[in-house]
Amino acid sequence: MKGLSNIALSVRASTTLAVDSLAKQMVSEGHDVIGFGAGEPDFDTPDNIKAAALAAMTAGETKYTPTAGIAALRRAVAARLLEDCGVKYESGKIVIASGAKHSIYTALRALLNPGDEVIIPSPYWVTYTESVRMAGGVPVIVEATRDEGFKITPEKLDEAVTVRTKLFIINNPANPTGALYDGGELRALADVCLRHDIYIMSDEIYCSLVYGGKKFVSVPSLGEDIKERTILINGVSKTYAMTGWRIGYSASNSGIAGIMESYLSHSTSAPSTISQFAALEALTGSQDSRDAMRAEFERRRDYAVARINSIEGVSCIEPDGAFYIMIDIGEQIGRTLGGRHIVGGDDFALSLLKNGLVAVVSGAGFGAPGYVRMTYAVSMEKIKEGLDRLERFVSGE
């Protein structure tokens, strides 16, 4: 038989989703696993949003919609971007897709020619490198160290640019580090992109989850010239506890938005009609539950950071946003834990899961093998128990 697609064969499955599946399988086999793996709010989708979905079904809103989404939802996204991010888009430049992950992939298909380079700061969310490969591009990784607060500098970005560079991907606040770039830092990075004629993909899906009184700045709000070359990505999954509804969106210039719409018309068509009506309520209804969830995430972050730094042999820096913590396991390398020799995050995560019954994601998939990532999008009770288990595990008890 002839071989499969070379591109497809080079793509690795999502490590965040893989650890989640393994942990869920262990739970189904009767193991009491604490899951700090995939980042998914533990809260239920707020009642007003579920009610809107039921009302839509009852009203017969169960047919195809226009590919880029219902007009009311595109307008609601534009209104929220103006209110939350201070950035003005006409609703025709908003394209709704089946999750922000699909918005990212579709935008990459719109932008990349085979061999185009895409600069991605590490540690990075696993999906960026693989979706760039899936779209025929070449990921170019630029490392941001712990000492730099996991944020890349304009000098590093500039050094990574070649004649083939097409796009720079920034995730702010970031998964997996929780790093938050301020306005000045974003401006300096955007200036490099302007100078070299590079597009920017700004994934702002965690924009509402910012802590410690810090301020979120949206990349396209920095100026018209930057906005014109930016593809903004966002969605309702994280902010409104709607991961399973699969609604994401992009805002871009009309050329890119039009191509994305054509691509979607031949792949998924429009996202689920019922979910679109639910997302409409999420964006236009009361924002009280969103604010309450944010406050609870901040409480958990504060506890988890202090607790991790009280454990001998592991440490972390305080994340300013999202709901993840990178746990530095550098001191564990070379030890034997749970009968496994620890060479990096993969061994540590596997041994912690099998022997300590805590699921974390190895930093290897994020380009940071000396770390593991935990999410605090789980209850405080589980955070306490899981970190107690982590302490027992590294103490070799």
Q: Which does 171 bind (CB under 5 to 8 A by kind): ligand PMP, ligand GLU, none?
A: ligand PMP
**In what helix (H) or strand (E) does residue 241 lie, and over which residues does it extend?**
none
372, HSE (Cβ side, Cα atoms, 13 Å): 29
User: Whole-number minimum distance, CB 324 to ligand GLU, in Å?
Assistant: 7
For residue 237, state whether it binds ligand PMP (rule: CB under 6 A): yes
User: Whole-number minimum distance, CB 350 to ligand GLU, in Å?
Assistant: 17
282 contacts 236 by C-beta, under 8 angstroms: yes
Of 117, 130, 185, 203, the one binding ligand PMP (CB under 6 A) is 203
Of 89, 125, 168, 216, the one binding ligand PMP (CB under 6 A) is 125
For residue 170, state whether it binds ligand PMP (rule: CB under 6 A): no
Q: Would you say 311 or 368 has its CB closer to ligand PMP?
A: 368
For residue 175, state whether it binds ligand PMP (rule: CB under 6 A): yes
DSSP for 74-141, please give it.
Answer: HHHHHHHHHHHH-----GGGEEEESSHHHHHHHHHHHHPPTT-EEEEEES--HHHHHHHHHTT-EEEE
Q: Would you say 242 or 394 has its CB closer to ligand PMP?
A: 242
Tell me the three state secondary structure of residue 150.
Answer: coil
Residue 363 tokens, joined: 């930093």
User: Whole-number minimum distance, CB 283 to ligand PMP, in Å?
Assistant: 14
Strands 371-375 and 94-97 turn out to be unpaired
How far is it, in rounded angstroms, from Cα 10 to Cα 169? Answer: 20
State residue 170 phi and psi, 5-degree precision: -125, 140
Q: Which residue stretch of 5-13, 26-34, 97-105, 380-388 sits at the interface with ligand PMP (rule: CB under 6 A)?
A: 97-105
Q: Which does 100 bind (CB under 5 to 8 A by kind): ligand GLU, ligand PMP, none?
A: ligand PMP
**Residues in region 253-282 near ligand PMP by CB under 6 A:** none
Q: Would you say 38 or 85 has its CB closer to ligand GLU?
A: 38
How far is it, in rounded angstroms, from Cα 39 to Cα 323? Answer: 7
How far is it, in rounded angstroms, from Cα 232 to Cα 103? Answer: 10
Q: Which does 248 bind (CB under 5 to 8 A by kind): ligand PMP, ligand GLU, none?
A: ligand PMP
> Under the rule (CB under 6 A), what is the footprint of ligand GLU?
14, 16-17, 38-40, 125, 127, 175
Residue 343 tokens, joined: 């060479």
Q: Would you say 67 or 127 has its CB closer to ligand GLU?
A: 127
Q: Which does 17 bind (CB under 5 to 8 A by kind): ligand PMP, ligand GLU, none?
A: ligand GLU
125 contacts 366 by C-beta, under 8 angstroms: yes
**Residues in region 364-383 near ligand PMP by CB under 6 A:** none
Residues in Cβ contact with 349 at an 8 Å cutoff, skipping those fewer than 6 apart? 19, 359, 360, 361, 362, 372
User: Whole-number minimum distance, CB 239 to ligand GLU, in Å?
Assistant: 13
Q: Would you say 179 or 364 has its CB closer to ligand PMP?
A: 179
**Residues in region 19-48 near ligand PMP by CB under 6 A:** 39
How far is it, in rounded angstroms, from Cα 336 to Cα 333? Answer: 8
212 contacts 241 by C-beta, under 8 angstroms: no
